[in-house]
């Protein structure tokens, strides 16, 4: 089968490679010229373990081409971004999805399958996508088959999880569901779950909302512990010994294009019935300010204004900085007059080495749980003006003995007498 994928980002590109590896003729389309040129040269533009080797193999098989424009195919998969709008509830911006659909309409023919993998607001397939297809003269479920099939993968393990994770197949009609299931069955080993399009939309959103709400509880607990002078991390550890309790870990905020975005789509669709979701979002978006406030206290009276920030991505061991709280924290610190030296071995451009970041600094601020930060070399901390470290991810295991190590469990011991 010939498949055209629109959008070659963190989901669209691995998905394209997966189908190409299983014998489909894939054309990957992206409007970004740099992405197309990079892939045309046989290189990949994303950091994801094993992906480059799979892409080389797909190219060697002759099953993968790249282009900036779509062409006639049997199936079209749309995997473009859906950012938040700048409105009261940060609702779903469908402009990229609508543009992608518009670009493939001239290529559609009877019998084709159109799949939206992009995360979308509830009822988008019924209220937005279906009318667009019908306005082009097609009857959905008869002429063209339409489905929402959201991904659920973990960056760093995408190649495996695309194959083995369960996949919701949300057809606009039952025939649409079966048509989409038949395509995914050619590449997937996980369970294919039949659903309506609207059920699939809301299910994907609630998966990420569940995690966001639970992280918010942990972040609120970290603040409570600091206020009451109780070790919140130890509280979490002890509570999780209960056989039916699994408190999440607190952190500097929530990032990425899922947890920091998707809950807003639910809240915007039903604002009067989503107070818990909205409160959780407010708690998690407050964490960068909370980290900055702690940092200001730790830097009060420090010999230098330099802070070594370790980690810019929203999670460990990837290169993705989308919606990263670390980036927001850096901007807030710089706005307050601090000199911020950034160290992230996974992010190219504009970052220091570990030694350069630490030299003359009065604080290491760990914002991402990269594997490289588990052990921090004493040679680097020896160059600090004041050897103190705030680990917002509780991921550092060893460093020099003279370094004052703090986390969300004990930082209150070092900041309680400081007034800013």
Express each pLDDT in 69-99 by its tens digit: 999 999 999 999 999 999 999 999 999 999 9
At residue 420, does pLDDT exceed 70? Answer: no
Sign of CA dihedral 257, 260, 262, 264: negative
Outline where 229-377 has alpha helix (H).
Answer: 232-239, 262-269, 275-299, 325-335, 354-358
DSSP H or E stretch at residue 365: strand 364-366
Contact yes or no for 176/147 (Cβ under 8 A): yes
204 counts as catalytic: yes
90 counts as catalytic: no
In tens, the pLDDT along 114-140 reads: 999 999 999 999 999 999 999 999 999
Could you identify the residue written with the tokens 């490679």?
Answer: 17
User: And the tokens for 109?
Assistant: 């023919």
Outline where 136-173 has alpha helix (H).
Answer: 158-164
User: Percent of the chain, pLDDT > 70?
Assistant: 100
State residue 155's pLDDT score: 78
| Residues in contact with 400: Cβ distance below 8 Å, sequence separation at least 6, in sequence order | 376, 378, 381, 382, 387
- Set 204, 297, 315, 393: catalytic member: 204
Residue 418's pLDDT band, with cuts at 50, 70 and 90, is: confident
| Residues in contact with 36: Cβ distance below 8 Å, sequence separation at least 6, in sequence order | 8, 30, 66, 67, 68
Mean pLDDT across the chain: 95
State residue 124's pLDDT score: 98
- Set 149, 176, 258, 358: catalytic member: 258
User: Percent of the chain, pLDDT > 90?
Assistant: 91
In tens, the pLDDT along 309-355 reads: 999 999 999 888 989 999 999 999 999 999 999 999 999 876 889 99
Closest CA to 66 of 25, 120, 121: 25
Mean pLDDT along residues 29-40: 95
At residue 46, does pLDDT exceed 90? Answer: no
State residue 156's pLDDT score: 81
Q: Which residue has the higher pLDDT, 124 or 257?
A: 124
In this structure, which CATH number among 2.60.120.10, 1.10.1040.10, 3.40.50.720, 3.30.420.40 belongs to the domain 205-281?
1.10.1040.10
In tens, the pLDDT along 14-26 reads: 999 999 999 999 9
In tens, the pLDDT along 173-195 reads: 999 999 999 999 999 999 999 99
State residue 419's pLDDT score: 72
Q: Which residue has the higher pLDDT, 233 or 420?
A: 233
Asked if the domains 2-190 and 205-281 are classified in one and the same CATH topology, the answer is no
Pairing of strands 167-171, 145-148: antiparallel
At residue 2, does pLDDT exceed 90? Answer: yes
DSSP H or E stretch at residue 171: strand 167-171
The angle that helices 275-299 and 197-228 make with each other, rounded to 10 degrees, is 40
State residue 255's pLDDT score: 93
Report domain extents, the chain.
Answer: 2-190, 205-281
Tell me the C-alpha distance between 67 and 150, whole Å: 24
Q: 2-190: which CATH architecture?
A: 3-Layer(aba) Sandwich (3.40)
In tens, the pLDDT along 193-211 reads: 999 999 999 999 999 999 9
Mean pLDDT along residues 381-399: 96
């Amino acid at each position: 089968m010939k498949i055209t994928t629109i959008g070659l980002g963190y989901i669209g590109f691995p998905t394209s490679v997966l189908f190409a590896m299983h014998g489909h003729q894939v054309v990957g389309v992206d409007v970004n010229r740099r992405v197309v040129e990079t892939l045309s040269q046989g290189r990949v533009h994303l950091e994801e373990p094993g992906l480059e080797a799979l892409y080389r193999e797909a190219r060697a098989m002759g099953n993968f081409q790249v282009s900036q424009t779509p062409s006639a195919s049997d199936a079209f998969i749309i995997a473009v971004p859906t950012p938040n709008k700048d409105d009261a509830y940060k609702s779903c911006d469908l402009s990229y999805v609508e543009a992608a659909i518009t670009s493939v309409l001239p290529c559609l023919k009877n019998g084709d399958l159109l799949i939206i993998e992009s995360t979308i607001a509830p009822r988008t397939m019924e209220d937005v996508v279906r009318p667009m297809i019908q306005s082009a003269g097609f009857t959905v479920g008869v002429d063209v088959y339409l489905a929402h099939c959201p991904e659920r993968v973990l960056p760093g393990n995408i190649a495996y999880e695309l194959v083995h994770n369960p996949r919701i197949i949300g057809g606009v009609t039952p025939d649409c569901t079966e048509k989409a299931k038949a395509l995914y069955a050619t590449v997937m080993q996980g369970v294919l779950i039949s659903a309506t399009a609207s059920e699939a939309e809301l299910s994907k959103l609630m998966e990420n909302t569940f995690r966001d709400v639970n992280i918010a509880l942990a972040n609120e607990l970290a603040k409570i512990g600091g206020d009451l002078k109780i070790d919140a991390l130890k509280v979490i550890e002890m509570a999780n010994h209960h056989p039916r309790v699994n408190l999440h870990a607190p952190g500097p905020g929530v990032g990425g294009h899922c947890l920091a975005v998707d809950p807003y789509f639910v809240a915007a669709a039903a604002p009067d019935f989503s107070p818990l979701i909205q409160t959780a979002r407010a708690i998690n978006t407050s964490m960068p300010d909370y980290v900055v406030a702690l940092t200001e206290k730790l830097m009060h009276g420090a010999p230098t204004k330099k802070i070594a920030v370790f980690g810019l991505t929203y999670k460990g061991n990837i290169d993705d900085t989308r919606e990263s709280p670390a980036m927001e924290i850096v901007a807030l610190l710089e706005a307050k007059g601090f000199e911020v030296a950034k160290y992230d071995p996974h992010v190219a451009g504009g970052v220091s080495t570990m030694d350069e970041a630490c030299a003359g600094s009065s604080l290491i601020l760990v914002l991402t749980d990269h594997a490289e930060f588990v052990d921090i070399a004493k040679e680097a901390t020896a160059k600090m003006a004041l050897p103190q470290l705030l680990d917002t991810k509780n991921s550092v295991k060893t460093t020099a003995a003279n370094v004052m190590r703090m986390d969300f469990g004990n930082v209150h011991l070092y900041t309680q007498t400081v007034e800013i």
